[in-house]
Amino acid sequence: MNPGNFSKNVFINCPFDNDYIPLLRPLLFTILYLDYNPRIASERFDSGETRITKICELIEESKFSIHDISRMESTRRNDIPRFNMPFELGIDIGCRRFKNGEAKTKVCLVLEKERYRYQKAISDLSGSDIKNHNNNPEDIILNVRNWFIEVDLQEAPSSTLIWDDFNDFMADFYEKREEEGFTTKDLQMMPIPEYIGFIKKWLEERK
C-alpha cells in the first residue's frame, strides 16, 4: 500500500466480524481490481496506538471512502446497537466539510442492507444517495464498481466480469492455501493485510 497516495486511497468503514467476511472479501477485491488502495483500520496493529487516532489518519489520507452501515442494529436481545460505523461516517463527512485543501475533494459511498432502512436510525442522511446490497456479495461488487465510474473512472470492466474473476480468485486462493498447510480456521482468521497481499499477487500474475 502507498499511504501517501491520497488520490488512490479508499478508506473502508465496515464491521469486523465473521458474518461480514463474505462481503468484505469481494469489497477488497473490487477496490484492488480497479487499481485503488484499500485503507482499513485492521491493516496495522499497534497496542500503543488508539483506534480513533488511526481511523482519523486513514480518513485524512483517503480521497475515497466506503461506509457500510448495515450492521447498526443489535443482534441479540438486550444488546446495545453498534454505532462505530455511523460515527466514522460522521468523522469522514466532517473532514470534508471543515478541512481545507485536498480534503474538499473527498467523496464517499454509503452502503446499507435494505433501501431506506437507514432513515429510521440516521434521519440526517435523508436525501443522500445510499446504495443497498441486500447482504449479497455480487451486489457489493456492482455498487462499488458503478460508484467508481460515477466519481472517478472513465471506464472499467463490468461488474459481472469482476464477480467472475473474484470467484476464480477465491477458488485459486483456497486451493493454494490448503496446499500450503492453511486450515479452514487459518483462512477464516487471516489478517486483512495478508489477504490483500494474495489478491495483489493474483492480479499481478493475471496481467
Residue 130 lies in a domain: yes
Residue 195 lies in a domain: yes
CATH, residue 73: 3.40.50
Residue 169 lies in a domain: yes
Q: Which amino acid is located at 23 in the chain?
A: L
Residues 6+ apart with CB under 8 A from 165: 33, 206
Closest alpha carbon to 28 in 178, 173, 184: 173
Q: What is the mean pLDDT of residues 170-179?
A: 96
Radius of gyration for the chain, computed over Cα atoms and rounded to the nearest angstrom: 17
Q: Which helix (H) or strand (E) holds 159?
A: helix 159-179
Residue 110 lies in a domain: yes
Residue 1 lies in a domain: no
- What is the pLDDT, as a whole number, of residue 79? 63
β-pairing verdict for 64-68 and 131-132: unpaired
Residue 106 lies in a domain: yes
Whether residue 193 is predicted with pLDDT greater than 50 in this model: the reply is: yes
Whether residue 173 is predicted with pLDDT greater than 90 in this model: the reply is: yes
- What is the pLDDT, as a whole number, of residue 114? 62
- What is the pLDDT, as a whole number, of residue 72? 63
Q: What is the mean pLDDT of residues 125-130?
A: 56
Which of 11-25, 55-69, 104-118, 162-176 is the least confident region?
104-118
- What is the pLDDT, as a whole number, of residue 46? 65
**Centroid of chain to Cα 124:** 22
In the sheet that 37-40 helps form, which strands lie side by side, from edge to edge?
A: 37-40, 9-13, 64-68, 107-112, 131-132
The per-residue pLDDT for range 13-27, each reduced to its tens digit, is 998 888 889 999 999
Backbone phi, psi, residue 40, to 5°: -145, 145
**How many domains does the chain contain in total?**
1
Q: 94 lies in which domain range?
A: 6-206
pLDDT band at 1 (very low <50, low <70, confident <90, very high): very low
- What is the pLDDT, as a whole number, of residue 130? 73
The per-residue pLDDT for range 73-108, each reduced to its tens digit, is 655 666 656 678 888 998 998 998 899 999 999 999
Q: What is the mean pLDDT of residues 128-138?
A: 82
